[in-house]
């Protein structure tokens, strides 16, 4: 087996564009860190606005996206009950790195 000495592979990896969905403040979306898995599609979220909420994983995300502890997600707090929220997006590792570099994540 011959090892590749072509540097194009490395350059292509660096030039990949990471597309990141930013929380929309006008729609009330906030970044959150998953603290605990509570069961029955519920998670405990530590939101960036300083509130600890119980998050609900909707059925549209339940089978497609696996959410674990310490994942970064976008949550939408409920209008009528501020201690609860819906999880609408989960970030991948490269997206989390981009958020940290750009200053969206203050401290984990």
What's the rounded mean pLDDT across residues 30-58? 93
Give 45 or 65, the one with higher predicted confidence: 45
Mean pLDDT of 52-73: 91
> Span 24-51, mean pLDDT?
92
Query: What domains does the chain contain, in order, with CATH numbers?
Result: 18-101 (2.40.50.140)
The confidence score (pLDDT) of residue 105 equals 85
Q: How does residue 2 score in pLDDT terms, banded at 50, 70 and 90?
A: low
Position 106 confidence tier, pLDDT thresholds 50, 70, 90? confident
- DSSP secondary structure of 14-68: HTPPPP-PPP-GGGT-EEEEEEEEEETTEEEEEETTS-EEEEE--HHHHTT----
Determine the pLDDT at residue 47: 92
């Amino acid at each position: 087996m011959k090892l590749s000495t072509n540097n194009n592979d490395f350059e292509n990896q660096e030039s990949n564009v990471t597309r990141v969905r930013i929380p929309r403040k006008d729609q009330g979306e906030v970044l959150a860190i998953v603290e605990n898995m509570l069961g029955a599609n519920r998670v405990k979220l530590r939101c960036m606005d300083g509130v600890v909420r119980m998050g609900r994983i909707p059925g549209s995300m339940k089978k497609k996206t696996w959410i674990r502890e310490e994942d970064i997600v976008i949550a939408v707090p409920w209008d009528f009950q501020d201690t609860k929220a819906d999880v609408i997006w989960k970030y991948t590792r490269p997206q989390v790195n981009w958020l940290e570099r750009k200053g969206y994540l203050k401290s984990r």
